[in-house]
Every structure is written in C-alpha cells, then in structure tokens.
Amino acid sequence: MYSMEDCIFCKIVKGEIPCYKIYEDQDFLGFLDIKPVNPGQSLMIPKVHYRWVDDVPNFGEYFEAARKAGLRTKKALSPTAVCYVTLGFAVPHAHIRIIPRFNEDGHGGEGLNFRLYKEITKERMAEIAELIRNAD
C-alpha cells in the first residue's frame, strides 16, 4: 500500500530530494522531469498532497501556475508547442506534465511516446531550469 510518507513528490516539496526547480509559489512547485520525453519537460505539483489533479481545491490557480511555467518554457526554449498532460498514474500525487514539442523530436505528429525519454546531463538540466526560471 502506498503512503504519503513514501511519496517522491512530497519529499521533493520538503527538500528531502533535490530537483531542478523552474517555478514556485505559495501553493505549487514546478520542476524538470528527470525522465523527459523532450528537453524542458517539467511537472507542476501542488505542495499539499492530493491524489488527482481534480482533487486540488484551487484547480484554476493550479492550471494557471502550469500555464505560467509553459509560457516561460516557450520563451526559453522556442518549442513548436507546449502540451499539458494530466494522466497521473506514474506517481500517485497530482501532477501536470508540461511538455515542449519540437519539430522532429522523435514522437511523430500528434502523439507522444512516454517510453522514449531523452537522456540529459545534470549540467544541461541545470542550464535548462535556469533558462526557464529566468524567462519572465
């Protein structure tokens, strides 16, 4: 059985696990995904543990935080588009995947293959996070 004490995202919020932070406000935290399908893919999570995205009481503010991170990603990385995905099965803590799409990114036209993640060095991850954070 899964418990909140085992939740990797709750540990990230508490600072017990490091992350490449791209966004933070009072209620939400955005950070780069360590297994991105494209460089700059991030996750927006509520700082309080909720299982599903629609469990988050300030749902509109949650999506507005994701939008802000997506717009910064667009400005920083110049993708063709940014997708917002809320599947929620990989980690049982509400999360919105913010995924930049690029021409010839290996995923084809409309779909994404979440098994085709890209290996990105820690140094490059830190650079990407800084670019997104500073893209106001």
> Which residues are part of the catalytic machinery?
95
Write the burial class of residue 83 (CB in 10 Å: 0-12 exposed, 13-18 middle, 19+ buried).
middle
User: How far is residue 121's CA from residue 22's CA, in Å, rounded to a whole number?
Assistant: 17
Instruction: Tell me which H or E stretch contains 31.
Output: strand 28-32
Residue 127: strand, helix, or coil:
helix
Name the nearest CA neighbour of 125 among 21, 16, 8: 21
